[in-house]
Amino acid sequence: MGVNKNNCKIKSIRARQVWDSRGRPTVEAEVLLNYNARGRAIAPAGASTGTGEAVDRRDGGEAFGGFGVKKALAAINEDIAPALKGLNAANQDAIDKALIELDGTADKSRLGGNAMIATSLAVAHAAAAAYKMALWQYLHEQENSGQAPFLPLPEIQIFGGGAHAGGRVDVQDYMVTATGAETYAQALEWTADVYRAASRLMAEEGRLHGVADEGGLWPDFDDNEQALDMLVRAIEAAGLKPGQDMAISLDIAASQFGSKGRYRLARDDRTLNSDELSGMLVDWVERYPIVAIEDPMAEGDKEGMVRFTWAVGKRVQVIGDDFLVTSVGRIRAAARDKACNAVLIKPNQVGTLSETKAALEAARKAGFGAIVSARSGETEDVSIVHLAVGWGVEQLKVGSITRAERTAKWNEGLRIADQLKEMGLEGEGQQPGGALPPRSRFPWGKGG
């Protein structure tokens, strides 16, 4: 990649307040380079968050329920912009090192994780623009892996629960993943069929309460397992075969209802210890077409994670989110302890693009699977799709197939699929719509 370095020097950075999908303020950073290459990025926000995450800088007080971002905007305009001016945007490691040193805290609390990730991603977009590339292509060429790019396998919410749906069910996400689909486009089409079937079945039974934070159906179930039964029925009603065409993925988000080895399932009116919760989830794996379970135990229940991974880790993905928070150190420790076998990659959990990439590399070195993920508070920003394609990450979790902040990302994948075809980067035999990663990369293989 040959571009005059002067073209990549940062000329200015500005911050603006924009809005996320929950109607809360968030931070957008806009980076301008010499000769006017430009990049923008917006910080997302989570509702279910791990204690080790980078801390968003919020204003507190009464305005916007305390979620104002004037202090984070000031951090960009008054601290970050002068510090990065004149630096080479193509040197992402140096940019992010400067951000980290300027912040000077372990949890990004001085500048704010929201200010830092918006800036870091905007710099990457600007550098890609200077090279006249889409971000995915810019990142892919930097990888220099010799591997043809592919589209990630979508993991898409059908029912929302937990912190995303007023606790209507304790489990946070009931998702599907099109394990039998041949292309990215087909995976989305099949998922839309399942969503519509689930909506119809729920409405017929009077169990449809509304729409959850991430666009999934806000259910009214009597217990947590009833959602699994309904999901299987919806897959079948869509004309698909559970476990072959379409499988189930769960985000238990156990930290939201458990601590100190005790787990309160309010919907089931039961309190379980770690082994009992693990036993319930193992039983679900035996009886339902489940291929992935995220945060099956609370983030402090390492022994529970180890035991659960020992029980089912050869058959399903056991994914760390709150447990790992996109942290290199935590990923390495989990690999040593065999406490999971996959990691959720969320850039705003760690605060910079370079640290996000380091977490992905640590996961790959450990033999872990990886899923690039959005947050519950999202915007039209599509950076994570470019990260997944550019870095060759096999899976993408965005939320549901509805709501514009979600469909913006799924639709960006369709555009990238077309770009790959136009550029001749799809391999022989690949169908339009973007090839998915080889099923040999997943514990369940092709077709369940």
What one-character-per-residue DSSP string does 130-162 give?
A: HTT--HHHHHHHHH---PPP-PPEEEEEEEE-G
Together in a domain, 24 and 107: yes
Pairing of strands 270-273, 290-294: unpaired
Q: Identify whether 141 is part of a domain.
A: no
**DSSP secondary structure letters along 11-42:** EEEEEEEEE-TTS-EEEEEEEEEGGG-EEEEE
Domain identity same for 103 and 185: no
Domain residue limits at 39: 5-132
pLDDT digits (tens, 9 = 90+) for 404-429: 999 999 999 999 999 999 888 764 44
Q: Looking only at Cα atoms, what is the longest distance across the chain?
A: 64
For residues 57 and 71, give the distance between their C-alpha atoms in angstroms, rounded to a whole number. Answer: 7
Same domain, 290 and 157: yes
Domain end marker among 132, 165, 200: 132
Same domain (yes/no): 92, 189: no
Q: 448 pLDDT band (50/70/90 cuts)?
A: very low
- 370: DSSP letter: E
Q: In CATH, what number is assigned to the domain containing residue 10?
A: 3.30.390.10
Q: Is 361 a catalytic residue?
A: no
The catalytic position among 214, 294, 378, 426 is: 214
**Is the residue at 143 inside a domain?**
no
Which among 346, 357, 397, 409 is annotated as catalytic?
Answer: 346
In 3D space, the residue among 126, 133, 120, 129 whose CA is nearest the CA of residue 92 turns out to be 120
* pLDDT single digits (tens) 250-263: 999 999 999 888 99
pLDDT of residue 214: 86
Number of separate domains in the chain: 2
What does the pLDDT read at residue 143?
A: 84
| 169 phi and psi angles, rounded to 5 deg | -135, 155
Q: What percent of the chain has a predicted confidence (pLDDT) above 90?
A: 82
The yes-or-no verdict on residue 218 having pLDDT over 70 is yes
Note if 30 is an active site residue: no
Same domain, 112 and 248: no
Q: In this structure, are 283 and 174 located in the same domain? A: yes
CB atoms within 10 A of CB 311: 17
In a domain, 431, yes or no: yes
What is the value of pTM for the model shown?
0.95
Beta-strand relationship, 173-177 and 247-251: antiparallel
Say if 138 falls within a structural domain. Answer: no
pLDDT of residue 213: 77
pLDDT recorded at residue 359: 98
Residue environment code for 236-266, b if the CB has 16+ CB neighbours within 10 A, otherwise e? eebebebbebbbbbbbbbbbbbbeebebebe
Q: How far apart are CA 160 and CA 168, in angstroms?
A: 8
User: Tell me: the pLDDT tens digits for 49-83?
Assistant: 778 899 999 999 999 999 999 999 999 999 999 99
Same domain, yes or no, for 119 and 256? no
Q: What pLDDT digit, counting tens, does each position of 98-139 carry?
A: 999 999 999 999 999 999 999 999 999 999 999 999 999 999
Q: Could you tell me the CATH number of the domain that includes residue 271?
A: 3.20.20.120
End-to-end CA distance of the chain: 41
pLDDT value, residue 163: 60
| Same domain, residue pair 99 and 190 | no
Q: Are residues 190 and 333 in the same domain?
A: yes
Model pLDDT, residue 166: 57
In a domain, 148, yes or no: no
Cα distance between residue 84 and residue 11, in whole Å:
9
Q: Which of 377, 402, 393 is nearest to 436 (CA)?
A: 393
Q: Are strands 342-345 and 369-373 parallel, antiparallel or unpaired?
A: parallel
